[in-house]
Amino acid sequence: MSFITYIANGFRQLFWDAQATHSILKETHGFRYALILLCILSGFSALVTFAITVILLSLPGPELALSLPIMILLFITLFAGALLFSLLSYGVTHLVARLFRGKARFSALISAGVALSFALSVINLGTSLLSLIPLIGPLISFAIFVYGVIVYIRVVREVYELSNERAAGVVLIPLAVLFVLLFILVGGVILFAPFYV
């Protein structure tokens, strides 16, 4: 399988094609392709975040010196952070799947998951302008997020040979924990912000 076929299988996963996931899992270079694609995704994420940061820092206000070494360090930090966050999220999914008696290796999840993530990223990029439309845009973004979670559940089911219920638990339990932690963090910031002013 070539790199292009690997990417095409990621898009086929969006259409509930279990055979695409199995093709990725059988590929001997699937893990290598996934790591390359994960670096591309992390680089793109870092580049977008870097550009937004530089634009915001160039707005009128207190002057902040952005020398070239600081800018390079910022980009490298953003890239490493995006890469580590991705690997950590796949690692948590893998650990939960193993607790649910999943049978696959970590490299299998990376191979199938990154192909799907790339396809979802392209879809999100294509619909990002729609998110600017009041009321309709956020609904479209939320619908794409929910669809991505559903497809990811199916990919986890195929990779780990789990039932639908167990695969849903593998994906939704870490997601629920993340939302609770974010709620606590944001709530704490809002609650205690008056004390820091």
Local structure of 1: helix, strand or coil? coil
Choose the weakest-confidence range: 8-12, 43-47, 116-120, 170-174: 43-47
pLDDT of 156 reads 96
**Closest residue by Cα to residue 119 from 176, 40, 48, 49:** 40
Question: Is 70 exceeded by the pLDDT of residue 56?
Answer: yes
Range of the domain at 106: 3-196
Average pLDDT, the chain: 88
CB-facing half-sphere around the CA of 72: CA atoms within 13 A: 3
Q: Say which amino acid occupies 189.
A: V
pLDDT of 33 reads 93
> Are 169 and 153 spatial neighbours (Cβ–Cβ below 8 Å)?
no
Listed in sequence order, the DSSP H helices in 3-162 are 3-13, 18-26, 30-57, 68-99, 106-127, 136-160
Question: Is 70 exceeded by the pLDDT of residue 11?
Answer: yes
Residue pLDDT, tens place only, 165-197: 999 999 999 999 999 998 998 888 888 777 766
Q: Say which amino acid occupies 159.
A: V
Total domains present in the chain: 1
pLDDT of 173 reads 95
Predicted TM-score (pTM) of this structure = 0.84
Confidence band for 139, pLDDT divided at 50, 70 and 90: confident
Residue pLDDT, tens place only, 14-35: 998 889 999 999 888 889 999 9
Mean pLDDT of 48-55: 82
pLDDT of 50 reads 83
> How far is the C-alpha of 138 from the C-alpha of 6, rounded, in Å?
31
Mean pLDDT of 140-150: 90
Q: Which residue has the tokens 């008696």?
A: 101
Residue pLDDT, tens place only, 62-111: 666 667 787 788 889 989 999 999 999 999 999 999 999 999 999 999 99
> How far is the C-alpha of 129 from the C-alpha of 14, rounded, in Å?
21
> How far is the C-alpha of 31 from the C-alpha of 33, rounded, in Å?
5
Choose the weakest-confidence range: 107-116, 129-138, 183-192: 129-138
For residue 163, with 0-12 CB atoms within 10 Å meaning exposed, 13-18 middle and 19 or more buried, which class applies?
exposed
